[in-house]
Amino acid sequence: MRNAFVTGGDRGIGRAIVEMLVAMGHRVVFTYHRNEKAAVRTLKEIGPGKAECYKLDLRDYTRIRYLLLRLKRKGMVFDVVVNNAGILGRFRTIPTITRRDWDEVIAVNLSGPFYLMKWLLPLIRKGGCIINISSIAGKMGGTVGVHYAASKAGLIGFTFALARELAGSGIRVNAIAPGPVDTGLLTPQQKRRLSRLALLKRVARPEEIAHAVRFLIENEYITGEVIDINAGRYMD
């Protein structure tokens, strides 16, 4: 059986990715941060024996290492890893972004995937793939603030460098840069405002991002690539 690891799989885009991976026949290990209710609900709705979940704060290097040692002791190896979990941070301009705001967004969105890959890499099977969920903000700045945009642009650079580093081991590394998606990350007002900017006049459904994850898993000739899913935002 193929195994997959997804961060932030309890809700939003991560949950859609978990469901899609289960539908593809993977057994999924996913993490959540604080929302145990959502994690339990996801496990229940997916059905018994198809997934397991662990509480994990991506800012906590020691815990990440501990979880990965636990999975290693269980003999787990992974075919797919999706670095999905992320936070938006508060909408702010440079003069009002505190050092704490900056550190937190960078810690979860950029240092977290690095910490995770450091310990997870030896558990990824040859021929496996890693998919990083970046954002349109990482390519064109977005509307949140420099902290979020820098974290997501950093994840794209991380993707390119890791794709080069792992090509010889037969592991592919790609990123997805979604525009606005219908999850709890955005308020209803933000979704309405951002819908107007898309050619298709709506935000994406989480399943539409999961679909790109599937594409990147199945197409074995793609590495070091960023897939944009934003309903024509670059055509403005």
Contact status: 113 vs ligand NAP (CB under 6 A) = no
Contact status: 57 vs ligand NAP (CB under 6 A) = yes
Of the listed pieces 27-35, 72-80, 114-122, 159-167, which binds ligand NAP according to CB under 6 A?
27-35
Contact status: 135 vs ligand NAP (CB under 6 A) = yes
Contact status: 59 vs ligand NAP (CB under 6 A) = yes
Start-end of H helices in 107-145: 112-120, 137-140
Query: Bridge partners of 175?
Result: 132, 226
Is 66 part of the annotated catalytic residue set? no
**Residue selected from 29, 97, 108, 163 as contacting ligand NAP according to rule CB under 6 A:** 108
Contact status: 101 vs ligand NAP (CB under 6 A) = no
**Of the candidates 141, 229, 236, 149, the residue with the CA atom closest to the CA atom of residue 197:** 236
Catalytic residue chosen out of the listed positions 54, 61, 66, 148: 148
**Residue selected from 23, 34, 218, 220 as contacting ligand NAP according to rule CB under 6 A:** 34
Least distance from C-beta 84 to ligand NAP, angstroms? 5
**Residue selected from 85, 129, 131, 162 as contacting ligand NAP according to rule CB under 6 A:** 85
10 Å Cβ neighbour count for 11? Answer: 20
Nearer to ligand NAP, 58 or 217 (CB): 58
104 three-state secondary structure: helix
Contact status: 149 vs ligand NAP (CB under 6 A) = no
Q: Kindly write down the DSSP assignment for every residue of 141-170, as one continuous string.
A: --SS-HHHHHHHHHHHHHHHHHHHHHGGGT
Q: Write the burial class of residue 93 (CB in 10 Å: 0-12 exposed, 13-18 middle, 19+ buried).
A: exposed
* CA dist., res. 51 & res. 57, Å (int): 19
Least distance from C-beta 68 to ligand NAP, angstroms? 14
Contact status: 89 vs ligand NAP (CB under 6 A) = no
- Contacts of residue 177, Cβ cutoff 8 Å, sequence gap at least 6: 134, 135, 136, 138, 139, 152, 156, 226, 227, 228, 229, 230
Residue holding tokens 């690891």? 5
Of the listed pieces 28-36, 40-48, 63-71, 162-170, which binds ligand NAP according to CB under 6 A?
28-36
Catalytic residues: 148
